[in-house]
Chains A and B, each alone.
Chain A
Amino acid sequence: MNATAFYFDSSMAQESTEIARGLRRKDPDLLDRLIEQYQHRLLRYLIYLTGRRELAEDLFQETWIRVLERGHQFNDKFAFSTWLFAVARNLAIDHMRRKQPASLDGLMSDDNDEVPFDVPATGQPSAFDMSLRREQTEYIAAGMLHIPAEYREALVLRFQEGMSLDEIATVARVPLGTVKSRIYRGLSALEPWLRGAPL
Chain B
Amino acid sequence: MNPASNTNRNTAMNNEAHERARRLIALAAPGTLSVADRLSDQPSSNAWLAAHLEICASCRTFAENAAQTIHELRAIPIAADRTLVSATQMNVRLRARELQRHRERLWMVSISCTVVTLCALLSTVALWRGFEWLGARAQLPASVWQVGFLFFGAMPALMVAILLLARDRDRDRDKDRDKNKDRDRDQKNGLHLAHHPGSYQG
Contact = CB atoms under 8 A, between A and B. Distances in A.
Interface of A: 26, 28, 31-32, 35-36, 39-40, 42-44, 47, 57, 60-61, 64-65, 68-69, 117-120, 122, 133, 136-137, 139-141, 144, 155-156, 158-160, 162-165, 180, 183-184, 187-188, 190-191, 193-194
A187 B66 contact: yes
B77 A120 contact: yes
A133 B79 CA distance: 20
Given A35-B88, A120-B77, A162-B33, A194 B69 contact: yes
Contacts of A162: 31-33
Given A31-B93, A184-B23, A194-B69, 15 more contacts: A28-B93, A31-B89, A31-B92, A43-B78, A44-B78, A60-B84, A64-B88, A137-B72, A140-B72, A159-B74, A180-B23, A180-B26, A183-B26, A194-B65, A194-B68
Nearest to A36: B85
B27 A165 contact: yes
Nearest to A117: B78
A159 B93 CA distance: 33
Contact of B84 (A57, A144, A180): A57
A99 to B, nearest CB: 22
A191 B62 contact: yes
Contacts, number: 125
Nearest to A58: B84
B51 interface: no
Interface stretch (B94-102, B143-151, B177-185, B193-201): B94-102
B29 interface: yes
Given A43-B80, A65-B95, A69-B95, A160 B89 contact: no
A137 B37 contact: no
Interface residues of B, number: 38
B96 A68 contact: yes
A44 to B, nearest CB: 4
Nearest to A27: B96
Contacts of B91: 61, 64-65
B70 interface: yes
B75 interface: yes
**Top 9 A-B residue pairs of the complex, sorted by shortest distance between their CB atoms:** A140-B72, A184-B26, A39-B80, A44-B78, A43-B80, A28-B96, A117-B78, A164-B34, A122-B75
B88 A60 contact: yes
A164 B99 contact: no
A165 B23 contact: no
Contact of B76 (A26, A141, A164, A187): A141
A43 B78 CA distance: 8
A163 B27 CA distance: 12
A40 B80 contact: yes
Interface in B78-128: 78-80, 84-85, 87-89, 91-93, 95-96, 99-100
A31 B96 CA distance: 10
Contacts of B88: 35, 60-61, 64
